[in-house]
Amino acid sequence: MTDEELALSYVDGNNRAFDLLLSRNQSKLYSYILFVVRDNDMADDVFQETFVKVITKLQQGKYTTSGKFGAWIMRIAHNVIMDWYREQKADKIVEPTEGNDLSNISDRELYESNIENQYVNNQVMRDVRRLMEKLPAPQREVVFMRFYQQMSFKEIAETTCVSINTALGRMRYALLNLRRMAKEYDVTLQLAV
């Protein structure tokens, strides 16, 4: 049976169908959640809350087989993550960790020049990271994935469960906001050559 058929079977009362759905989708879903939140405990909580919402929505008849079940649960997980961040009033969609700390990004690969240029370029990169922190969470997420993780817009769209046009739109608004903030704070965003 496909995931879609299993979902409908569960709605009809087959609890074993849900066990199969869970076993088929848990690894991919958990990996996605962990990728976004970068914290094992939080990922566990979000994963659990996501499946509670999946069960609730299935029982309420809010699932239709018009799309892939996997994409449907990824969208639910994405919404749970966004809700959690809103509740916490956190301003970060991707939490820096030891291996993912924005301050550890190597600026030196971007330029090769004298010490004055190096100082200017270090300051520009610090300013960019500081301005990025002021972006709305969805925009910051797209900028981080695109520029710091070299993900394609297709990969970004799939990971965040939005269309490619939405991912592109978020990037466009992020760049406009970065330019506006740079002007507002009188920050130069051009690297010295």
Mean pLDDT of the chain: 80
pTM here? 0.48
pLDDT band at 48 (very low <50, low <70, confident <90, very high): very high
Residue 39 predicted with pLDDT over 50: yes
Mean pLDDT confidence for 78-104: 64
- What is the C-alpha to C-alpha distance for residues 93 and 142, in angstroms, rounded to an integer? 10
Question: Rounded to 5 degrees, what angle do the CA atoms 83, 98, 192 make?
Answer: 100
- pLDDT for the residue numbered 160: 86
Handedness of CA 74, 25, 87, 172 (dihedral sign): negative
Residue 110 predicted with pLDDT over 50: no
Residue 115 predicted with pLDDT over 70: no
- pLDDT for the residue numbered 83: 86
Report the share of the chain in percent with pLDDT over 70: 81
pLDDT band at 45 (very low <50, low <70, confident <90, very high): very high
- pLDDT for the residue numbered 159: 80
Residue 107 predicted with pLDDT over 60: no
- pLDDT for the residue numbered 71: 83
Residue type, 65: T
- pLDDT for the residue numbered 47: 94
Report the share of the chain in percent with pLDDT over 90: 19
Which one has a higher pLDDT value, 80 or 147? 80
pLDDT band at 188 (very low <50, low <70, confident <90, very high): confident
Cα dist. 151→36, 113, 184 in Å?
13, 29, 29
